[in-house]
Structure 1
Amino acid sequence: MEIIDPKIVPQTCEGGCSDRKSHHSDKLKSNMVTRLNRIEGQIRGIKGMIEKDTYCDDVITQISATQAALNSVAKILLEGHMKSCVVERIQEGDDEVVDELLVTIQKLMKK
């Protein structure tokens, strides 16, 4: 598992998380946007491979790499969410956030 730099993972939700908006540092946002831009390029590459009748196994390999990259972004988001919004809501006495988190983790594990 990738080690996340704690300086780029938000530790608190500025203004609270109950408004259901994320509060990521500029560095974290930049990191995620860079990763998503790369993933977008990978998707375009896969499309091009299919259009060029590239060997199926090679296309599948690229799809697998793209899925891994998306999972990496999801892990970063999940870590930040747990360290900020979830902790804050529990501290405020909102235990329902645990059920919400479990549903989110189940969604991630389906993949």
Structure 2
Amino acid sequence: MATSDHQKENDVLSDEEATTAVLNRLRRAQGQLAGVISMIEEGRDCKDVVTQLAAVSKALDRAGFKIVATSLRECITENGGDKCRELMTETELEKLFLALA
């Protein structure tokens, strides 16, 4: 699927390697969540369900941190400061980061 320059500028992540890593983590979390749902439907032990749910939560957190970290790196290292300032204020960025904490 081809993307225009405008679409590329607004991508969540322009780093293909980071995008792949995030998508892999999200797909893994999706599979784990499906497993949690099945466990609940089967009446599995609370401890096992909560353990798997914690794994899903951690996978989602790691994906979120990867997105924020990669975006920050791109802003700092690729002269994207002006672009980054246009897209998000410092306060908005702080709120986004703290939402993951």
TM-score class, shorter-chain normalisation, is: 0.7 to 0.9
Partner of 1:104: 96
Alignment partner of 1:51 is 2:41: yes
CA distance in 1 between counterparts of 2:84 and 2:27 reads 38
User: Any stretches of 5+ residues in structure 1 without a counterpart?
Assistant: 1-14
User: Any stretches of 5+ residues in structure 2 without a counterpart?
Assistant: none
CA distance in 1 between counterparts of 2:34 and 2:95 reads 31
1:18-33 map, 5 Å: 20-33=10-23
CA distance change for structure 1 residues 21 and 27 in 2, over 3 Å: closer, same or farther?
closer
More helix by share: 2
Aligned match for 1:67, one of 52, 57, 69? 57
CA distance in 1 between counterparts of 2:83 and 2:93 reads 16
CA distance in 2 between counterparts of 1:58 and 1:52 reads 12
Size of the aligned set, in residue pairs, is 92
Letter in 2 for 1:84: E
- After TM superposition, the score normalised by the length of structure 1 is 0.68
RMSD value over aligned CA atoms? 2.6
- After TM superposition, the score normalised by the length of structure 2 is 0.74
More displaced 10-residue stretch of structure 1: 73-82 or 42-51: 73-82
CA distance in 2 between counterparts of 1:71 and 1:83 reads 18
CA distance in 2 between counterparts of 1:51 and 1:65 reads 18
Aligned match for 1:79, one of 69, 77, 81? 69
Query: Structure 1 residue 93: deviation in Å?
Result: 9.5
Query: Structure 1 residue 77: deviation in Å?
Result: 0.6
CA distance in 2 between counterparts of 1:94 and 1:31 reads 25
